[in-house]
Structure 1
Amino acid sequence: MPKVMFLAVTAKPRAEYGFDGKVGMWPFTVVRKAKRSHAKTGTVAGETDIIESVTVTAEEYRHTMLKKNGVFCKLREKMWWFGKNAGTPEAGTTLYYQHDGARPHTAKANEAHWSRHGQKSGFSIDVVVQPAQSPDLNVNDLAFFSSLQSDTELVAKRNVFDLVAAVEKSWAEYPQERMEAVWRVLYASFKGIVTARGDNSYSHHTGSRAAHSASSRRGESHDRRFPQAEIDQATAVRDTLSQQLETGVEGVVSTSSAHEDTDDE
């Protein structure tokens, strides 16, 4: 089965702005002309288009982010209400783009590009990094990718062309109600983390994605409020940990290293 890396950018659906939560999907591929002819496949050297996957380097990622109809361009187009002159409550406020800590994402050479290109056309786009080892805080890793994959697995994929076409078809047909359900799962994780005061024992899948989706179809409202007492307790724990890190970094690192050595044994 062919393998291709995709960059999927999603956000919370906003029905009042006609936004379904899908910013864009970009395959990391390159199209070239065939170098050889093959009678069995009908490939003609110099004429038939061949599509191949490419390695996602810092340069390749930056190109996808900044090119025409790339990520920044689509953020401004699809989430127009963040524009300075949009006349909406969010107008002029910062739009945050979050990615994980993969090396192509966090390369120092790219940081200046994010900063410069984020402040254009009346928008303020800030690129931030997802907390390390926290897939439950990334809506794509948490629920969206598995949901989309359940669709594409039903489609035969003989080559890269078929795979890209299948993913793009599933992306185009992915309904807003399912995206709403995906984001409800994320909020369930947020609530679980706050309730557990940041401990890893939190309950992050409160209700299945199917249950959230059914609730969304029924038009049921989704309560995203947090009890103030839990917020205060979680904040106190965070502040205590921050103070410990500031005053005793060496001790914290040493403890972590010792624990890792023990695990290796």
Structure 2
Amino acid sequence: MFLIAIARPRFDSDGNEVFSGNIGIFPFVTDEPAKRSSVNRRAGTLETSPITSVGRDMRRISLFSKVLPAIMLKWPLNDMNKLIYIQQDNAKVHIHPNDEKFRLAVSQSSLNIQLFCQPPNSSDLNVLDLGFFSAIQTL
């Protein structure tokens, strides 16, 4: 499972791209030491394995530790004072838009970020899903 953060690209008055809109792709994985030796590696070598169940706390941690720093690093300087919306679908594991821990983390950054859920029966996120999956299939 991945958490993908993208935005609309920004262009200057000449049509040159100033911000691509790519913020990051963050996998839900852990690094654990191998329990036994094999032909490919010795015991104790770190192995990357997927996290099979991602809950609300895991999503909150990934937003705080990965997405917010990536936004702060890559966001265009001339748009720093504008409102940034983080849109998520209506899955139950997503954090609530009024989450106090999220508001505290955002208040410590220099950005104005609000979290909201996708409206019911909206095709906004489906277009992103379809575009992302078709891009992967072409690779």
Q: TM-score range by the shorter chain?
A: 0.7 to 0.9
Q: Deviations over 1:139-163 (max 9, x none)?
A: 5224223223432xxxxxxxxxxxx
The alignment partner of 1:101 has SS state of coil
Root-mean-square deviation (CA, aligned residues, Å) is 2.1
Q: Following the alignment from structure 1 to structure 2, what is the Cα–Cα distance between the partners of residues 62 and 149?
A: 29
**Quick one: structure 1 residues 117 and 100, their matched pair in 2 at CA, closer, same or farther if it must change by over 3 Å?**
same
* TM-score, with structure 2 as normaliser: 0.82
Q: Following the alignment from structure 1 to structure 2, what is the Cα–Cα distance between the partners of residues 23 and 150?
A: 21
The answer to whether 1:122 aligns with 2:118 is no
Residue identity over aligned pairs, in percent, reads 30
Tell me the amino acid that sits aligned with residue 136 of structure 2.
L
Q: Deviations over 1:49-70 (max 9, x none)?
A: 2111102111111111101xx1
Displacement after TM superposition at 1:107 (Å)? 5.1
**Quick one: structure 1 residues 107 and 37, their matched pair in 2 at CA, closer, same or farther if it must change by over 3 Å?**
farther
The equivalent of 1:189 in structure 2 is: none
Q: Following the alignment from structure 1 to structure 2, what is the Cα–Cα distance between the partners of residues 37 and 129?
A: 46
Q: Following the alignment from structure 2 to structure 1, what is the Cα–Cα distance between the partners of residues 57 and 95?
A: 11
Alignment length (residue pairs): 133
Q: Following the alignment from structure 2 to structure 1, what is the Cα–Cα distance between the partners of residues 29 and 108?
A: 28
Q: Following the alignment from structure 2 to structure 1, what is the Cα–Cα distance between the partners of residues 31 and 110?
A: 34
**Quick one: structure 1 residues 107 and 92, their matched pair in 2 at CA, closer, same or farther if it must change by over 3 Å?**
closer
Higher helix share: 1
Displacement after TM superposition at 1:72 (Å)? 0.9
The equivalent of 2:93 in structure 1 is: 104
Q: Following the alignment from structure 1 to structure 2, what is the Cα–Cα distance between the partners of residues 44 and 141?
A: 39
Q: Flag as ranges the 4+ runs of structure 1 deviating above 3 A.
A: none
Displacement after TM superposition at 1:29 (Å)? 0.3
The equivalent of 2:11 in structure 1 is: 15
* TM-score, with structure 1 as normaliser: 0.46
Greater relative contact order structure (CA < 8 Å, 6+ sep): 2
Q: Following the alignment from structure 1 to structure 2, what is the Cα–Cα distance between the partners of residues 19 and 113?
A: 29
Q: Following the alignment from structure 2 to structure 1, what is the Cα–Cα distance between the partners of residues 100 and 18?
A: 32
Q: Which runs of 5+ in 1 are unaligned?
A: 82-87, 152-265
Q: Which runs of 5+ in 2 are unaligned?
A: none
The alignment partner of 1:104 has SS state of coil
The alignment partner of 1:72 has SS state of helix
Higher strand share: 2
